[in-house]
Structure formats: structure tokens, C-alpha cells
Chain A
Amino acid sequence: DAEITQSPRHKITETGRQVTLACHQTWNHNNMFWYRQDLGHGLRLIHYSYGVQDTNKGEVSDGYSVSRSNTEDLPLTLESAASSQTSVYFCASSDDGELFFGEGSRLTVL
């Protein structure tokens, strides 16, 4: 079955370190998204991509970057992790319709 997977599921890092969260989908969807979820804020869009080589900033993109070198993957990079980036991160993909979400990656920045 097609699916969307995130890794790692849990990560603890230190302030200032670079962190990359992986997202891989096997539906061949063009559209991929990264959200972060924090108490009191729901899910907020970080970055999104409509296809290979396309990336766009969402509402909370500062401190994050993404790249789309193929259809299946949209890795999220925190160039210099900050404590404010402690959160649960969800990747999603769609083919112009329903969003399919991964299981989430819980990141703690100490």
C-alpha cells in the first residue's frame, strides 16, 4: 500500500545544531507540505512544494528550509535549531485533494 513516512519519529538535539527531518511518500503525489503543531496553535504551515524543484514558504517558515529533488521526498532542515522549534512536525502529501499525513516527528531542542 502507498504511504507517507517520517523519520526520525523522535529526536532530541541541542540549540544551534542542524537537524533534518525526512518525509517520504509513495503515492507519487505532486504536492507535499510540512506543518508544525504546538499547543494552542493547531497546525501551522511551514513550507510546501507543488512539484520537483518547487518550494514555497508557509506562515512560519523562518528558520526552516526544504528542498524537492524528486517526487517522493521533501526533507525539512532546521539550519540552527532553537528552543522555539521544539514541536511536533507533520509531513503531508496530496494530489490536489485530500491531504495524507505522516505519523509525525517529535523534536526537542535543548
Chain B
Amino acid sequence: LAKTTQPISMDSYEGQEVNITCSHNNIATNDYITWYQQFPSQGPRFIIQGYKTKVTNEVASLFIPADRKSSTLSLPRVSLSDTAVYYCLVGEGLVVTGGGNKLTFGTGTQLKVEL
């Protein structure tokens, strides 16, 4: 499984755009990149997943360069409720191949949003 590296913490203010970058130099051809969000005293929840280029949903955007050795989660106009830990995961067979997945969660990035 590819190892991921992301900042331990980030601070922002309400209304700003936040970009969290994750490095995954050893990503394999079959690997997808997935981001999860975790609030205190809750389990993580899925935010977004991508394989290459750009993916956007109602919550965030995920930018993946051509070499796929890094990815950037972009949260537009954050609010206080976006304060959470964000995990970048790289894993095989998350959607396409089936057979389950063995995702490895690192320590994540603690995002703190202030007024």
C-alpha cells in the first residue's frame, strides 16, 4: 500500500478556500485516492475519491496531477463546521475491481477554522 504524507495541521478562517496536499510517491497503477473527514467522537466519513485529473462534488474538489504522486483536497469557503481531521488514503480496488479494500489511514491533517 502506498504511504501518504500530509501536513499535521492547518489553520484557516471562515470564507477562505483551504487546500490540503497529500504526497503519495509510491502510488500504484490500480490505486485510487480517497479523502475522509472525521469530526471529534465520530467515525470518519467519505468526502471524495479520484483517480486522475480533477473530481468535484458538492463538498470538495480533488486535484490530481498527471504523475499522480500527490493530490490536493480543496474545500471552498470553509466554515467553522469544517473543523475536523482530514485523511488522505491511497488504496487498490476501491471501486472498480471489487474484493474489498484495505485502506491505511495515517494521522491526517487537523484543520481548524476560526471566525
Spell out A's residues near B (CB within 8 Å): 30-31, 35, 40-45, 48, 50, 58-59, 90, 92, 94, 96-104
Do residues B95 and A43 form an inter-chain contact, with CB atoms below 8 A?
Answer: no
Shortest beta-carbon distance from A17 to chain B in Å: 25
Known A43-B105, A44-B105, A96-B94; judge A101-B44 contact (CB<8 A). yes
CA distance A45 to B44 in the complex (A): 14
Contact of B45 (CB < 8 Å), options: A50, A94, A96, A101: A101
Q: Whole-angstrom distance from the CB of B88 to the nearest CB of chain A? A: 11
The reply to whether B102 and A96 contact each other, CB–CB distance below 8 Å, is no
Q: How far is the CA of A9 from the CA of B72 in the complex (A)?
A: 34
Q: How large is the interface on B (under 10, 10 to 19, 20 to 34, 35 or more residues)?
A: 20 to 34
Q: List residues of B (82-96) whose CB comes within 8 Å of A's CBs.
A: 87, 93-95
* B81 part of interface (Cβ distance < 8 Å): no
Q: What is the CA–CA distance of A104 and B36 in the complex, to the nearest angstrom?
A: 16
- Asked if B55 CB lies within 8 Å of chain A CBs, one says no
Q: A96-B93, A99-B46, A101-B43 are in contact. Are A48 and B106 (CB under 8 A)?
A: no
Inter-chain contact B99/A50, CB cutoff 8 Å: yes
Q: When the two chains form the complex, which single residue of A41, A50, A90 contacts B43, counting CB atoms closer than 8 Å?
A: A90
Q: Which residues of the partner chain A approach B108 to less than 8 Å between Cβ atoms?
A: 42
Q: In this complex, which of A41, A44, A92, A99 has the most chain B Cβ atoms within 10 angstroms of its Cβ?
A: A99
Do A98 and B46 form a contact, CB below 8 Å, given A42-B106, A43-B105?
A: yes
Q: Are B102 and A45 in contact (CB under 8 A)?
A: yes
Q: Can you name 30 A-B pairs with beta carbons within 8 Å?
A: A30-B100, A31-B100, A31-B101, A40-B107, A41-B107, A42-B105, A42-B107, A43-B87, A43-B105, A45-B102, A45-B103, A48-B100, A50-B99, A50-B100, A90-B43, A90-B44, A92-B43, A96-B95, A96-B100, A96-B101, A97-B95, A98-B46, A98-B49, A99-B36, A99-B103, A100-B46, A101-B43, A103-B41, A104-B42, A104-B43
